[in-house]
Amino acid sequence: MSARKLGARLGAVLTAALLLGGCAADPRVRAKSLEDENKQLARSVQAADQAVQGTASYLAEMQSPAKAGGAFSLYFTPETLERMATQAVPYRMQGREFNSKLKGEIIVERVTDFQFLSRNRLRCKAHLRGEKIKYTGSVPSFAKGQVKDFEQAVTKGAIADLEVRLELDGPHVIARAQATDIRLKAKRDSSAESRLQDEMNKKALRLPLVFDMTIQGQGAVPRRLLVTGNHVVVTYAP
């Protein structure tokens, strides 16, 4: 048998094996896989549509910012937000805002690395450190060393990744933040970091931050808020 015929026969055998394997697979598993793929595709299309709509509104506003009878917009870049954040820090929170048994203070020293996302969201990093941190709850003897390490690690600092959703409510911007990750700077401990993240979301970030966007001496008030790929845009109108 020639090499060419042998290769053709092997190819036919492999093709048949693959076809049989596909036929032997549970059709319910395949159907579920296709359903999941379809849902993921639908979510991607929806996100893309929202991004396109936001971009179209943004471009229209950039091209004709003063068409709507005295309306105007303020544009905030990531660098602008970082400079504004320096005016709000250090921001001090009581340790009990994270855990009822935690004594001392958690201090937000910096907020950096602003990135703009779809659906009026942004991402940033909060740089934290503890001051006079002490856990006052009952601790079994075998866990006292771990608690001590945790207290020292929080004191030396952590970085929290935050995802923030912005909403306009009258003259106020409402910022609803959620910690998506926390990393201790001194001694990484996934269990401690996870607990700290959970407590931060349940307590410290439970209530939104509120920013008054009123411009003194102006008759215009905020009418719309839009987050684009490059700016947070707040549109004012009489």
pLDDT one-digit tens code per residue, 90-145: 999 898 888 888 899 999 999 999 999 999 999 999 999 999 999 888 888 888 88
Main-chain phi, psi angles of 214, to 5 degrees? -65, 135
Secondary structure of 96-157 in HEC code, one letter for each residue:
HHCCCCEEEEEEEEEEEEEEEECCCEEEEEEEEEEEEEEECCCCCHHHHHHHHHHHHHHHHC
| Entry pTM | 0.68
Give the model's confidence band at 58: pLDDT under 50 very low, under 70 low, under 90 confident, else very high: low
Residue 14's pLDDT is what? 44
Residue-wise pLDDT tens digits, 148-182: 888 888 899 999 999 999 999 999 999 999 999 99
Rg of the chain taking only CA atoms, in angstroms = 27
- Distance CA(227)–CA(75), nearest Å, equals 10
Per residue in 184-232, pLDDT tens? 988 788 888 898 899 899 988 999 999 999 888 777 889 999 999 999 9
Phi and psi for 114 in degrees, rounded to 5? Answer: -70, 135
Query: Which residues sit opposite 130 in a β-bridge?
Result: 106
Locate the domains of the chain by residue range. 3-59, 82-209
The pLDDT score that the predictor gives to residue 33 is: 64
